[in-house]
């Protein structure tokens, strides 16, 4: 009762409607979403560091016919882990940018360059959802790629897999957060359309009905053409939201609920995901191509490029069916993907070390000295191992 009275007293001091008061209280969830995204990223980094270290030291049959070849040298292992490594770096760069913008927005006397409240809400919801889904994938695949060793509690994949489920539901179910992104985006789009000039509206309508050939500039599509990929990601986001806006344009409240909750949820999720992926792409492009250390740019550009290719591959049906990429271009993505994976793999251990996770924090024997751990009857316990490697 005391808590309720205190909350009522606080919200009563907020000027505006009941909705304004609700939004003010709901804003407190934004910092939580950023914290969960940070937690998810920390777990993804640990899982990949463990899997990559083990993969580099676990020897199996090589060209000589002997067990002298690390499993990290196999394309199977590289194709599973390198995209996850790329996503982890790219999501981290985007998350740091969003953290910075949220911090500036939250401080009193923020400057005029700070993004709007609506954009802050959309970004916090998007990055929490994307990183939450990512840790689920990163933990599961990393465990799988470590074989039987991944089952051991001492190697720490279990807590990461279990924790990933909180990343997908705490502070808002991820798919529900995608609905929030879509709602805020449509509200912003409605405002922009009302303020647009006739020429601007005509241009928007032209883009909505222009053929895919026009949008891709006559290109077949290439995984190595960064400007081309960024452009079709921008067009995808715009067209999906225009399609959604058109469907709900003349609906009353009851019709809108039916359409949103019962008929077009696939389109809602697709549009919000398109916004999220384009947001991450834009934030990272700025940091990598315009602000990154010159010595780090080459490898960061490869990671960014691999991330973009995975985005295309994950939604290849949409891009082909809308003629944003030709079938020939889609086939070429596989070659570009494999080349980038092979180029990144030799740097993967250094990239994992770049996460800054100490030996003690990693803890997992397969990420440290698993030969020593298996040299005695350890019963799956860590105490004696810690004494031996200390």
pLDDT in tens, the chain (390 residues): 555 455 555 555 555 666 666 666 666 789 899 999 999 999 999 999 999 999 999 999 999 999 999 999 999 999 999 999 999 999 999 999 999 999 887 766 555 446 788 999 999 999 999 999 999 999 999 999 999 999 988 899 999 999 999 999 988 899 999 999 999 999 999 888 888 788 777 777 777 767 777 777 777 778 899 999 999 999 999 999 999 999 998 889 999 999 999 999 999 999 999 999 999 999 999 999 988 999 999 999 999 999 999 999 999 999 999 999 999 999 999 999 999 999 999 999 999 999 999 988 888 989 988 888 887 887 777 777 777 777
Single pTM value for the model: 0.90
By DSSP bridging, strand 59-61 and strand 67-70 are antiparallel
Q: On the CB side of 379, how many CA atoms lie within 13 Å of its CA?
A: 3
Identify the pLDDT of residue 373.
Answer: 82
The answer to whether residues 129 and 164 touch, using CB atoms and an 8 Å cutoff, is: no
Identify the pLDDT of residue 112.
Answer: 45
The answer to whether residues 106 and 382 touch, using CB atoms and an 8 Å cutoff, is: no
Residue 307 neighbours by CB under 8 Å, 6+ apart: 83, 86, 87, 90, 280, 281, 284
Identify the pLDDT of residue 22.
Answer: 60
Identify the pLDDT of residue 15.
Answer: 56
Identify the pLDDT of residue 309.
Answer: 97
68 phi and psi angles, rounded to 5 deg: -130, 20
70 phi and psi angles, rounded to 5 deg: -70, 140
Neighbours of 77 (CB within 10 A): 22
Give the burial class of 19: count Cβ atoms within 10 A of its Cβ; 0-12 exposed, 13-18 middle, 19 or more buried. exposed
């Amino acid at each position: 009762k005391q808590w309720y009275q205190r909350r009522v007293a606080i919200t009563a001091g907020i000027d505006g409607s009941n909705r304004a008061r609700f939004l003010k209280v709901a804003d407190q969830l934004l910092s939580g979403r950023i914290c969960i995204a940070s937690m998810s990223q920390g777990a993804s980094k640990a899982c990949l560091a463990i899997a990559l270290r083990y993969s580099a030291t676990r020897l199996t049959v090589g060209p000589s016919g002997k067990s002298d070849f690390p499993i990290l040298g196999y394309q199977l292992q590289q194709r599973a882990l390198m995209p996850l490594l790329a996503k982890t770096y790219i999501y981290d760069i985007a998350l740091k940018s969003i953290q910075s913008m949220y911090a500036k927005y939250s401080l009193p006397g923020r400057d005029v360059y700070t993004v709007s409240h609506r954009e802050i809400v959309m970004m916090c919801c998007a990055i929490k959802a994307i990183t939450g889904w990512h840790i689920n994938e990163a933990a599961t695949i990393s465990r799988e790629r470590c074989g039987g060793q991944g089952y051991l509690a001492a190697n720490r994949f279990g807590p990461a897999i279990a924790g990933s489920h909180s990343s997908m539901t705490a502070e808002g179910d991820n798919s529900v957060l995608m609905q929030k992104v879509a709602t805020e985006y449509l509200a912003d789009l409605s405002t922009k359309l009302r303020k647009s000039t006739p020429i601007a509206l005509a241009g928007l309508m032209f883009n909505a009905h222009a053929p895919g050939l026009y949008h891709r500039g006559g290109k077949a599509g290439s995984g190595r053409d960064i400007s081309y990929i960024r452009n079709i990601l921008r067009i995808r986001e715009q067209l999906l939201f225009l399609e959604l806006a058109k469907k709900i344009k003349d609906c009353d409240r009851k019709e809108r609920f039916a359409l949103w909750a019962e008929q077009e949820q696939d389109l809602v999720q697709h549009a919000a995901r398109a916004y999220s992926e384009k947001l991450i792409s834009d934030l990272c492009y700025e940091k990598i191509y315009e602000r990154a250390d010159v010595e780090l740019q080459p490898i960061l550009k490869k990671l960014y490029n691999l991330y973009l290719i995975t985005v295309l591959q994950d939604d290849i049906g949409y891009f082909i069916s809308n003629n944003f990429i030709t079938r020939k271009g889609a086939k070429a993505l596989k070659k570009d993907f494999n080349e980038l994976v092979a180029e990144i793999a030799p740097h993967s251990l250094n990239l994992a070390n770049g996460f800054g996770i100490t030996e003690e924090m990693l803890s997992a024997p397969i990420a440290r000295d698993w030969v020593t751990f298996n040299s005695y009857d350890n019963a799956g316990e860590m105490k004696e191992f810690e004494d031996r490697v200390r």
